[in-house]
C-alpha cells in the first residue's frame, strides 16, 4: 500500500504516477532533511529508471502543494522535509551539527507585529538559532 505522503498527495488531488509514488515513499521513510541528490539516490534504489529531472519537478510540485517544505541551510542546495501542521524553526548545535526543531508562538506573533509596523504583511520567515549545549 501507499506511503503516508502518497495519501496526502491524493487528498490534495495530485495526479499520482509511479515516480511520484516512489518519491513519496522515499520522503516518508526519511527522518533527515535530504537534498535532491539524496532523494534521487534513494529513489533510484527503488526505481533505477527514475530521472533527476523528475525528482526536481516532483519536489517543486510537492512543495507548492504544501506536502513538503524546502529549506536553505546555506550550503548551496535545497533540503527538504515533510510538511507538518505545526510550523517549526530550527536550532543547530554548532558543535555536532545536529538540528533540533522547535515552535514558539510568541516569536511568530512578534514577527507579524514587526512586519506590520514596517508596513508589510508577513508572508514567510526564516529563523535559525545556533547554539552550544549547556552541560
For residue 45, the partner it binds in a copy of itself, DNA, none, with Cβ less than 5 to 8 A by kind, is none
- Asked if residues 16 and 9 have their Cβ atoms less than 8 Å apart, the reply is yes
CA dihedral 37, 128, 3, 60 (to 10 degrees): -50
Give the C-alpha distances (Å, rounded to integers) separating 82 from 6, 26, 29, 56: 12, 11, 10, 16
> Site residues for DNA, window 61-80 (CB under 7 A)?
76-78
64 binds a copy of itself (CB under 8 A): no
Site string for a copy of itself, 97-126 (x = CB under 8 A): ---x-x-x-xx--xx--xxx-xxxxxxxxx
Tell me whether residue 7 or residue 103 sits nearer to DNA (CB atom). 7
60 binds DNA (CB under 7 A): yes
49 binds DNA (CB under 7 A): yes
50 binds DNA (CB under 7 A): yes
For residue 48, the partner it binds in a copy of itself, DNA, none, with Cβ less than 5 to 8 A by kind, is none
In the numeric block, the cell 498527495 is attached to 9
At 7, which helix (H) or strand (E)?
Answer: helix 4-11
- Asked if residues 4 and 15 have their Cβ atoms less than 8 Å apart, the reply is no
10 binds a copy of itself (CB under 8 A): no
- Asked if residues 52 and 44 have their Cβ atoms less than 8 Å apart, the reply is no
Residues making contact with a copy of itself (CB under 8 A): 72, 74, 91, 93-94, 100, 102, 104, 106-107, 110-111, 114-116, 118-134
Amino acid at each position: 500500500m501507499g506511503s503516508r505522503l502518497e495519501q496526502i498527495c491524493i487528498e490534495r488531488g495530485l495526479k499520482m504516477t509511479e515516480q511520484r509514488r516512489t518519491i513519496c515513499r522515499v520522503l516518508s521513510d526519511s527522518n533527515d532533511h535530504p537534498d535532491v541528490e539524496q532523494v534521487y539516490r534513494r529513489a533510484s534504489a527503488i526505481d533505477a529508471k527514475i530521472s533527476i529531472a523528475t525528482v526536481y519537478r516532483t519536489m517543486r510540485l510537492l512543495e507548492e502543494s504544501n506536502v513538503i517544505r524546502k529549506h536553505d541551510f546555506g550550503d548551496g542546495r535545497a533540503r527538504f522535509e515533510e510538511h507538518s501542521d505545526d510550523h517549526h524553526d530550527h536550532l543547530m548545535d554548532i558543535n555536532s551539527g545536529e538540528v533540533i526543531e522547535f515552535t514558539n508562538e510568541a516569536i511568530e506573533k512578534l514577527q507579524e507585529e514587526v512586519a506590520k509596523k514596517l508596513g508589510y504583511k508577513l508572508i514567510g520567515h526564516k529563523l535559525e538559532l545556533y547554539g552550544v549545549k549547556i552541560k
